[in-house]
Structure 1
Amino acid sequence: MAHDPAALLARVRRAAKGTPYTVTGTAAGFELVAEVSSPPGARGRRRREVLTHRVVLDAAGGTYRVTDSRVPVPDAPEEPGEQRSLLAGFGRRPDSVEQAGTEGHRIVDDAAANLGWTRLRSPLERPGVVLATLLGFCVLLVIVVLVLLL
């Protein structure tokens, strides 16, 4: 059974109202675009970026794939941010910075789930799976070497 891309696009547009995202249809699906602040740099400073979620649809299979990209806004000044240190939680990102990216995914995922679409994910989207696979391979390699040496 083929899924209706127009119905998904309409649902995503309704869900994106009141958010920083604009939704634009494309030949392969649609894009959600928002201007956001970058994650803080080493000095705690941020820049304005254009965050784009490209959604490619496969109506026959009822699947979709989301690809993200961030592009700095030309000539955007750095915004002051709080300085980070090891004691103050260096490396943590405030919720507001992450919210724009996760909100876009949530909008698409919720709309798609309600219409029966399935998201395809790359294994690289889940670093834990990749790390666990590499670790398992290393353990297996060590066991084989120990068995051969004994």
Structure 2
Amino acid sequence: MADVYSTAFTQKTYMECWAQAQEALQRGRRVLVDATFREQAFRRLFLEGAKKEGAMACVVVCECNREIIKGRMTKRETATEHVSDANWQVFEKVESSWTPFEAATGLYAVTPQDIFTVNTDKQIELSLQRVHGFLRKVGME
């Protein structure tokens, strides 16, 4: 089985995801990409690509307390339906290589107003309400 968290597999995954997103944008559809985006290069690919296609682009960054994340991951490991194969070791690897989101500069700049950080420690409904409020504010809901 391939190491789905290897650099090569990660790059292949993001490139395929972008190809599908680009195709949808070219058809005039809206696109939401749910991914870790731990590296600036992948963020740039999607954000600049969306703007080149004439689409609005924004970023929602989800943050959560480490112990809450660990508890959720532990609970998920024993669940009958697995939504991810990532475990605590994978989380720690991703966390150690995380590059914080910052406003980008250049032709396809993402302003601080395009980046929204939501804390997901509490109930999912509250986090979703906050995200919907942000999307309304930037004209994307």
Instruction: Please report the TM-score for the alignment, with normalisation by the length of structure 2.
Output: 0.26
Q: Which has the larger radius of gyration?
A: 1
Instruction: Return the structure number with greater strand share.
Output: 1
